[in-house]
Amino acid sequence: MTDYVKDLSKVAGIEDIFKNPDIAHIFIHHHKVTKSHFVPGFNVQFEEMKDKIKVNVVVEKNTKIEKPVHMCFGMLPKTGIQHLVMNIDVGDDSQVGILAHCAFPNAVDVKHIMDANISVGKNASYSYFERHIHGTGRGIKVYPKAKIHLKENAKFRSEFELLKGRAGLIEIDYETHCGKKSVLEMMTRINAKEDDILNIRETGHLDGDYSRGVLTSRVAVRNHAKAEVYNKLTAKGAYARGHVDCTEIVQDDAVVSAVPIVEVNNPKAHITHEASLGSVDSKQLQTLMARGLTEDDATDLIIRGLLS
């Protein structure tokens, strides 16, 4: 095992996955595949280039991959650019979950760019959980961008979470088109501080009849950080149902804004939205303080719960 794999897997906390042959995994350090292991029905082709790496994933029809596939992306050096171009094709009637660990623990000037095209076939289920681990500086810039197409009765669930370290600059841009009876769930959880900047743009188009979608954002910002959350959900399909939910907690001199947009082009569709921006709820805070916690400890506990 190379040092990169050892170090990246240690940072991500996934050292045990190598013991289990049923767990597929891919390690990409910078633009090089440093380790990979696949399971039947899960096919991957790589194209390593100087300025990017292309990853084409095909999950064969009728394949159910029981254990999550671990993809570890990252860079250990302090500077550099990692550009991933991913095409994911989840075949009809198949099921796969990907746990993406993105580790940049030493970033001083690092860019992580991901351009993804994802297609989820009929009756297929695909989940993509992206967990970021950053260093303590603001030197990381993350640009995950994805276009997702859900065919009839497909299910797609994505989560983006910053587990550790500074956000730096995170610009998320995900857009999903939902076919008939498909289901979309997108969740983002980020804690920003100092001079971090967050731009979150999640768009769902409930094009098909009976399609459903939920866009959820939980953001906590403090110090001088800034966050803008743009969640858009449109509904053309009859009986489409959707909800946009944004909660942003702001402390100190941080600035947050939320732009929930709902657009309905079919009288039989129904979308709701809620947004809550501001300081930590007073009753929540005072309850914990009435149990003896200081205001800071109470705030931390509330935010940890919100982002968990």
CB of 189 to other proteins, least distance (A): 9
Nearer to other proteins, 16 or 282 (CB): 282
306 touches other proteins (CB under 8 A)? yes
Q: Which stretch binds other proteins (CB under 8 A): 87-95, 96-104, 108-116, 300-308?
A: 300-308
DSSP string, 146-182: EEEEE-TT-EEEEEEEEEES---EEEEEEEEEE-TT-
Determine which residue in the list 30, 179, 288, 299 makes contact with other proteins, applying CB under 8 A.
288
| Options 88-96, 124-132, 158-166, 285-293: segment touching other proteins (CB under 8 A) | 285-293
Site for other proteins in 161-220 (CB under 8 A): 218
- In degrees, rounded to 5, the angle at the alpha carbon of residue 116 between the alpha carbons of residues 113 and 118 is 160
Contact between 63 and other proteins per CB under 8 A: no
Return the SS3 of 45: strand
- Taking CB under 8 A as the criterion, the residue among 190, 247, 250, 269 binding other proteins is 247
Least distance to other proteins, CB of residue 292, Å: 4
Nearest CA to 7 out of 138, 132, 105 is that of 105
Q: Which residue matches tokens 């660990």?
A: 101
Q: What strands lie across the sheet with 42-48, from one edge to the other?
A: 42-48, 53-59, 79-90, 109-120, 140-150, 169-178, 197-206, 226-235, 255-264
Instruction: From 71-79, 89-97, 233-241, 275-283, give the range in contact with other proteins by CB under 8 A.
Output: 275-283
**33 token code pair:** 């595949």
Q: Measured from the CB atom, is 32 or 304 closer to other proteins? A: 304
Instruction: Please tell me whether residue 287 binds other proteins under the rule CB under 8 A.
Output: yes
Q: Which residues pair with 59 in a beta bridge?
A: 42, 90
- Site residues (vs other proteins, CB under 8 A): 218, 247, 281-284, 286-295, 298, 301-302, 304-308
